[in-house]
Structure 1
Amino acid sequence: MHTLLVTLLVIVSIALIACVLLQSGKSAGLSGAISGGAEQLFGKQKARGLDLILHRATVVLSILFFGITLLISYAGL
């Protein structure tokens, strides 16, 4: 059981890293911070297409990562 969980954790970790690296970057620097605040204030539309899919996949994979990590630590006791 422990080996299965560790193997699953490695697969989820690699998938999470890939999802994060495939996402488009935010604007950097002071101009990015100002425009980012303005976008939040004026309610720019949410990301669509591939960015939305990658965002949702990142959320799901991060929840799986923490869940499996807690299971491994619990099973190790």
Structure 2
Amino acid sequence: MYGTLVTLLIIDVVVLIGLVLLQSGKSAGLSGAISGGAEQLFGKQKARGIDAVLHKATIVTSILFFILTFILGYIVTA
């Protein structure tokens, strides 16, 4: 059980790192931060296409990462 969970955690971590690296970066600098915040507040365009899929997959894998980590922590301390 422990070995299987550790293997799943390692696979999840590698996939999570890959998903984060595949996502497109936001504008850099102070002007990018201001325009990005304004677009998020007032913009009508939402993330579409591959960026939306990568974003959702990142959320799912990060939730799986936390669940596996908590389970492994419980098993090790029990």
| TM-score above 0.5, yes or no | yes
Partner of 1:57: 57
How many angstroms apart in 2 are the aligned matches of 1:39 and 1:22?
22
Equivalences, count: 77
> Where in structure 1 are there 5+ consecutive unaligned residues?
none
> Where in structure 2 are there 5+ consecutive unaligned residues?
none
Return the TM-score normalized by structure 1: 0.95
Return the TM-score normalized by structure 2: 0.94
Residue 74 in 1 paired to residue 74 in 2? yes
Sequence identity of aligned pairs in percent?
68
- The ranges of structure 1 where at least 4 consecutive aligned residues each deviate by more than 2 angstroms after the TM superposition are none
Q: How much does 1:45 deviate? A: 1.6
How many angstroms apart in 1 are the aligned matches of 2:14 and 2:37?
32
RMSD of Structure 2 on Structure 1 (CA) = 0.8
